[in-house]
Amino acid sequence: MFDIIHIIHLYAAFIYGGFLIVDNLFMSKMGESLSAEEATKAREAIMMHVRKIVPWALLTAVGTGIYMFIGVFGQIGADGMSSFQILLSIKAFFGLWLGFRGFNQKFFGINPWVFKSHLFPFILVLIIIFLSQAMFISF
């Protein structure tokens, strides 16, 4: 069961992270080749479809991440948390922050109080990816 949850988690994270990559690296540049009005119209045409899929992908990634966290964190040793547990905890904190932000946007229409662009979530996703690699190097 864990492997299935892990695959679902990876797909959901790829959908969410992929949107952030496209938004920050490509969609943000539409104003350079289109008029302001055309860029706004094009972005909204894309975002109309994004809003149907990406928030659910984020919430799926967070939910499956919580499940996996519980399964792999393990016991804290007598000398404290291992480097794996520390990195996993940091990664989980960033993932929960993204999930809390996304949940508030999706269900309550609350826009982020700070960091209204997608740049900060994009940076957090990159940090989460690097932490994922570092966790298993330290393991």
Residues whose CB falls within 8 Å of the CB of residue 78, separated by 6 or more in sequence, listed in order:
none
The boundaries of the domain holding residue 72 are 2-138
Report phi then psi at 18, rounded to 5: -60, -40
- Give 10-59 pLDDT, tens digit per residue: 999 999 999 999 999 999 899 899 999 999 999 999 999 999 999 999 99
Is residue 112 left, alpha or beta, with left meaning phi > 0 and alpha meaning psi from -120 to 50? beta
Vertex 68 angle, CA 62 and 72, to 5°: 140
**What does the DSSP 8-state code read for residue 75?**
P
Average pLDDT, the chain: 92
Tally of structural domains, the chain: 1
> How far apart are the C-alpha atoms of 23 and 43, rounded to whole Å?
9
Indicate whether 71 pLDDT > 70. yes
> How far apart are the C-alpha atoms of 124 and 94, rounded to whole Å?
7
Burial level of 76, CB count in 10 A (0-12/13-18/19+)? Answer: exposed
